[in-house]
With several copies, the nearest count.
Chain A
Amino acid sequence: MHEIQTLHIVNKAPDHPRFRRCLAMLAPGDTLLLIEDAVLATGLKALAADVPCLALAPDLRARGLEVSTGQRIETTDYAGMVALTAKARRVISW
């Protein structure tokens, strides 16, 4: 039994076509993990994701970003990223 249906890992900046495409492909039961340039999406006014969303803390810190409490985005580290991949039925790296 997997706790996550599909784990979507995005590493592209929010203005990259693949970032937008990934958002459009989320389904209930999925989880979104923002890494590398994708963590810049936490600075945007709205990130329209209806699924649990996490951002990689080392990548946030590198870019001078913090996740505000109102954003419903959790942070995680590399160990957390590993745990997410282990819990998911499938992983897509966008």
Chain B
Amino acid sequence: MQEVTPQSYTLVITGAPYASQAPQTALEFARAARASGHRIKRVFLYGDGVQLASALTAPPSDESHWPRVWAEFLTSEGIPGIVCIASALRRGLVDENERKRHELTASNLRPPFIIAGLGEWVEAQRGDSRVLYFHGAR
């Protein structure tokens, strides 16, 4: 067996579930990376990818529930899931803070996802973690 130098990854998901395959590919990648002894430092949702953090998704019971499966993975592995605030607000994804600030009727962010700025992504970009993107197909 080949020696593996452990790496630290930041995964950026820009494709939405039920519109692209991005969240599924990213999850299989993350699982394989963990199984190979690598670290996932954080997962960052950007653009249409923020839909993965919705608490209100209810797909047919014979289809994968990507937001739930991702949330469980992040929780069990202790990986921070960060949702870009600018992308989220344009697409109707808000936590309790943003609900209050914008006087909205409800919040719909699924734990353990949290909302933060692009600074979190810049941090990854300039640090020593490898940044990998998972885009939509169209």
Q: Do A and B bind each other?
A: yes
User: B25, A86: Cβ atoms under 8 Å?
Assistant: no
The answer to whether residues A93 and B132 also contact, given A11-B21, A79-B35 and a CB cut-off of 8 A, is: yes
The answer to whether residues A82 and B137 also contact, given A35-B25, A91-B130, A91-B132 and a CB cut-off of 8 A, is: no
Nearest CB of B to A10, in Å: 10
Residues of chain A touching chain B, judged by Cβ–Cβ distance below 8 Å, are: 11-13, 16, 35-37, 58, 77-79, 81-83, 85-86, 91, 93-94
Nearest CB of B to A16, in Å: 8
User: B32, A81: Cβ atoms under 8 Å?
Assistant: yes
User: A83, B25: Cβ atoms under 8 Å?
Assistant: no
**Within 8 Å CB of B132, what residues of A?**
85, 91, 93
Q: How distant is the Cα of A2 from the Cα of B112 in the complex, in angstroms?
A: 35
What are 18 contact pairs spanning A and B, CB under 8 A?
A: A12-B137, A16-B137, A35-B25, A37-B21, A79-B32, A79-B35, A81-B29, A81-B32, A82-B33, A83-B4, A85-B9, A85-B132, A86-B4, A86-B7, A86-B36, A86-B38, A93-B135, A94-B135
